Amino acid sequence: MNQDIAIVQLVLHASLIVQVVMLLLLLGSIASWAAIFRKLWALRDIKSKNDEFERDFWSGASLNDLYETAARNAANGGPLDRIFASGMREYHKLRERQIADPGVLLDGARRAMRASYQREMDATEVNLSFLASVGSVSPYVGLFGTVWGIMHAFTGLASLQQVTLATVAPGIAEALVATALGLFAAIPAVVAYNRFARDIDRIAIKLETFIEEFSNILQRNLGVLTK
């Protein structure tokens, strides 16, 4: 309890620049934690919806029925739903234009799915760069506050005739709080960034695998249709 009070007193007695640095680091830490929780829930939701779609897709249901369901629930579905729907939509558009060339049909569906894949990955990676920035910049911002605080502390000691550890320690302690806040903001952001980057890579692999598997299914259906 006394230690907490002492830290608060150090913050309150710090110079204005150091207090501004501490405030920025505190706001960065709060924003970082908010981004972490949002991303955590978003990735869990994506994984759940992708798994649900895969179960339906490989259950033997009709592709047209799956397409109608995916198109109807595009706003609330997962990335796999929208990628599948974009491929089927392009396939049907080309068929309506009386295009019978299997290569053109397959290439059109594949391009549509790749474009949808890129949009999904862009949406999935939202806030990831923010966490990377907080994790890389916060320690340096805290170090700036520390250096400035130490400079301010030694400047204030210049007018004293006798300098002891008791007169130097408070100013240095105030400055070091900025470094501590910088690490407090950076460490969770770095850990979360690494975790989310790994999870997003797994999602990307699953989406790319599905595109190839669905392309093979379309190719087999095209082969039947052109006979």
Pairwise CA distance, residues 106 & 47, whole Å: 27
Domain count, the chain: 1
pLDDT digits (tens, 9 = 90+) for 105-158: 889 999 999 999 999 999 999 889 999 999 999 999 988 888 887 777 666 666
For the chain, the three-class secondary structure string (H helix, E strand, C coil) is CHHHHHHHHHHHHCCHHHHHHHHHHHHHHHHHHHHHHHHHHHHHHHHHHHHHHHHHHCCCCCHHHHHHHHHHCCCCCCHHHHHHHHHHHHHHHHHHCCCCCHHHHHHHHHHHHHHHHHHHHHHHCCCHHHHHHHHHHHHHHHHHHHHHHHHHHHHHHCCCCCCCHHHHHHHHHHHHHHHHHHHHHHHHHHHHHHHHHHHHHHHHHHHHHHHHHHHHHHHHHHHHHCC
Residue 175, C-beta contacts closer than 8 angstroms, at least 6 positions apart: 14, 18, 145, 146, 147, 148, 149, 150, 152, 153
pLDDT at 99 over 90: no
Structure tokens at 57: 């897709």
Q: Using CB atoms within 10 A of its CB, is residue 184 exposed (0-12), middle (13-18) or buried (19+)?
A: middle
Range(s) of the domain holding residue 79? 2-225
pLDDT digits (tens, 9 = 90+) for 19-78: 888 889 999 999 999 999 999 999 999 999 999 999 988 887 788 888 888 888 877 889
